[in-house]
Chains A and B, each alone.
Chain A
Amino acid sequence: MKVISLYSIKGGVGKTTATVNFAYLNARDGNRTLVCDLDPQSSASFFFRIKPMKKQNSKIMVSGNNAASEFVRATDYENLDLLPSDISFRKLDVHLDRANRSRKQLVNTFKQFEGYYETIFADCPPSLTLLSENIFRASDVLLIPVIPSVLSRRTFEQVRGFLKKKEISIKHVIPFFSMVDTRKRLHREQMDELWEIYPDFVRNYIPYRSEIEKMGQFRAPLPAVHPASRNSHEIQMLWQEIRERISS
């Protein structure tokens, strides 16, 4: 089982959009996939039209038994399930803080999915907290969406610094560009610069387009609704590049 986390300190960088689409593409290839929505804004859950069950609360993510499994719900797509989030997930940090081995609790929680799912996609809340550290330690792959802007670039560098300082080693840390507006000179310049400094940056990227923004209206992965569209194609190219990178 591979845990792939999508993470950014900064909000509104297209993190959930990427999670939903990548997870869908991964499942479509026949891999049993679970999306773990860890963000109290529950945007990923919203995209899949899934509400949490009544009894669910954020404690399931830190209790030692297999509590989380009971709350997993199937999406409308084959091989793709989701553990929804709700507003109570804002307290995850508090629960983690109280738990034993508080920095590695999520590693345990994910263990219950071992054997059934081949991939877990974790959609993480923006911020840099104890939860983030838990996520880093539980991840095999950390995907970081970066808008080619000065502020977004800065937060990316902050994450790198944090990982280094805490001596957290993740097998693959892969940044990719998101919400790219190629008409803007600043975006183009930033991309060129970043590609040069950080050759790890993926070549394909997610463009800024209204069709992608509309995902919130039709509430479904883009390649499921418009499989032949240009945007779907670009997202698929990006996912393919990432997939090749992490399977090597």
Chain B
Amino acid sequence: MMETGSFRADSSKLVKYKRAIERKYELERESRGGCKLEQYDTFDWRLYEKGLFAYSNSGSFTIGESLAGPPSLACSVGAAVPRFWWEFEDPEARVFLQDITGVRALLPLAETLIDQESYSVRNRDGKIVCRLSFLTSNPVDGSRRSYLLVKPLRGYPVERNRISSLAVKSGMDRVPVPILEDLLLSSGRQPGGYSSKLDLLLGRKMTISEAVVLINRQLLSTITSNIQGVVEDYDTEFLHDLRVATRRTRACLTQLREALPTDEARRYGADFKSVAQRCNALRDLDVYLLEREHYYDVLPVHLHKGLDQYFKYVTRKRTRRQREFSAYLETNAFTSLLRDWEGFLQDPAALVNDSPAIEVAGAKIQERFQRIIKRGRKIDDISPNARLHELRIECKKLRYLLEFFNSYYPQKKMNALVLHLKEFQDNLGEFNDLTVQQEDLGAYLRSSKSDVNSRLRDAAIGGLLTVLNSSQVAARKEFYRRFAAFDSRENRALYGELFQQRKA
């Protein structure tokens, strides 16, 4: 994306430019001053992905595509920019941000001091037809950068073009990216540089060892880049991404264990399993808090007070767990695990299996799929819940395999396939969550003291248990329908077509 009216400038070119403009228009300085521009985005660049930039400047907060055009959102904030959309006082800001940032925090990314001179350009009638800003930034890398910004006014495109082309004639180059992006770059930020999604292009001639090493390098980078966010407790998604990457690592090590030397596969598999387990309790508590509204919604209003007590308890517990887990991330055990693992992934000795990755992938996926079908068909009304939980784990393993080797297969068909699997997984996931939540609430009820004040609380928990139980019964009923869709002739044929007997 290029801003039509932004140029790199220096003072000599600006002088020339001003002179050129004054031959046709009247140039009038409107303001001059300095400001401190602080830029924000979520860790995974949700604003940037939508072509937007957020910045604050002495109490006002703005989101827009560029410095030139009208902002998409402008509101005033207090001394500090709120971290989450729900913390904004301005209702318009809440609505705007909710859709984009979701549960992610707005993080300060760069702070730049900017000197700004603004001019209006008037035609013969004395009407303003365009505005200009001359900006000079002092980024952290020490290089001063000067820009010219041509801000068009609605209904004056001819003048805008003429005034922009004078900039080119005065020897200025267009900035290849929006100025706000240029400011991020000069502060050492790489916009769009993070995604929790596995996005791997595996070579068709790759061996399974090479593929597994590549997959794990990307997962390791995801783990590493989320550590700070977990420790600083910016938002819940750092832990979530770290946990998923850890689980994928562990799944890769067990499902494709023959790709790496046996001892290392076993050792790291066990180590990452233990990291993943350490995340679980904290993530569960995060989910409770994220879904707090939902819990309140299902209960009658007069029981809400009872729920307050429960959530106070959850919040306290979460704070404790968060501290514990953060401390763990800074232990020698964890840091050396990552260091060793990184070293191992660079070591040519890791490459022990020459089988073509594409063949191994197809066979593994097909095998896992068949196992799910076989186990799923055995489930009936009297099967214990544990069978469904096992099936959920199997599905997760299949999902990871599909993600690892996604690039080997036609995207359209893969999307359809993943969608089917996802719908099935959602049902199994819901069923499992409802089981865990009932267990947790039951344990809380048993362990907490009963007295006169606890009646409302116990009633609220009882109410929740009832709702959760009936949802669980519904989810179990829904299982048959979802599994039937997954076990459909079309879906089976699709797996057969994509994953059977493929040679490199």
Contact = CB atoms under 8 A, between A and B. Distances in A.
A71 interface: yes
A163 interface: no
Nearest to A82: B155
A51 B123 CA distance: 11
Interface string A215-237: 00001000000000000000000
B126 A73 contact: no
A74 B126 contact: no
Nearest to B128: A76
Contacts of B154: 72-74, 81
Contacts of A81: 154-155
Nearest to A52: B155
A150 to B, nearest CB: 39
B490 interface: no
Nearest to A219: B126
Contacts of A73: 153-156
Contacts of B127: 48-50, 76
A50 B156 CA distance: 10
Interface string B101-129: 00000000000000000001000011110
B125 A74 contact: no
Interface string A60-101: 000000000001111010000100000000000000000000
Interface string A194-212: 0000000000000000000
Q: Which of A48, A73, A74, A81 has the most CB of B within 10 A?
A: A74
A186 interface: no
B30 to A, nearest CB: 10
A72 B128 contact: no
A48 B153 CA distance: 14
A48 B127 CA distance: 7
A51 B125 CA distance: 9
Contacts of B120: 76
Interface string B145-164: 00000000111100000000
Contacts, number: 25
A73 B157 CA distance: 10
A53 B125 CA distance: 14
Contacts of A71: 155
Interface residues of A, number: 12
Contacts of B128: 76
A8 B410 CA distance: 69
A116 to B, nearest CB: 10
In this complex, the interface size class of chain B, counting residues with CB under 8 Å from chain A, is: under 10
Interface string A101-145: 000000000000000000000000000000000000000000000
Nearest to A73: B155
A71 B157 CA distance: 11
B90 to A, nearest CB: 12
A42 to B, nearest CB: 13
Contacts of A53: 155
Nearest to B156: A73
Nearest to A51: B125
Contacts of A48: 127
A72 B155 CA distance: 6
A219 B127 CA distance: 10
B125 A49 contact: yes
B155 to A, nearest CB: 3
Contacts of B156: 73-74
Contacts of A72: 154-155
Most chain B CB within a 10 A radius of its CB, from A48, A51, A72, A73? A73
B422 to A, nearest CB: 35
A49 B126 contact: yes
A113 B125 CA distance: 27
Nearest to A32: B70
Contacts of B125: 49, 51
Interface string A161-189: 00000000000000000000000000000
Interface string A13-53: 00000000000000000000000000000000000111101
Contacts of B155: 50, 53, 71-74, 81
Nearest to A30: B74
A66 B417 CA distance: 44
Nearest to A77: B128
Nearest to B123: A49
B295 to A, nearest CB: 36
| Most chain A Cβ neighbours within 10 Å, of B125, B126, B154, B155 | B155
B25 to A, nearest CB: 13
Nearest to B126: A49
B55 to A, nearest CB: 18
A49 B127 CA distance: 5
A113 B155 CA distance: 15
Nearest to A54: B158
B68 to A, nearest CB: 13
Interface string B207-234: 0000000000000000000000000000
Nearest to B158: A53
Interface in B174-212: none
A45 to B, nearest CB: 10
A68 to B, nearest CB: 12
A24 B128 CA distance: 16
A73 B130 CA distance: 11
A53 B153 CA distance: 14
A76 B126 CA distance: 10
Contacts of A49: 125-127
Contacts of A74: 153-156
A71 B154 CA distance: 9
Nearest to A48: B127
Ordered nearest first, which 7 A-B pairs have the shortest CB separation? A73-B155, A49-B127, A74-B153, A74-B154, A76-B128, A49-B125, A49-B126
Given A53-B155, A76-B120, 9 more contacts: A48-B127, A49-B126, A49-B127, A71-B155, A73-B154, A73-B156, A74-B153, A74-B154, A81-B155
7 contacts: A49-B126, A49-B127, A72-B155, A73-B155, A74-B155, A74-B156, A81-B154
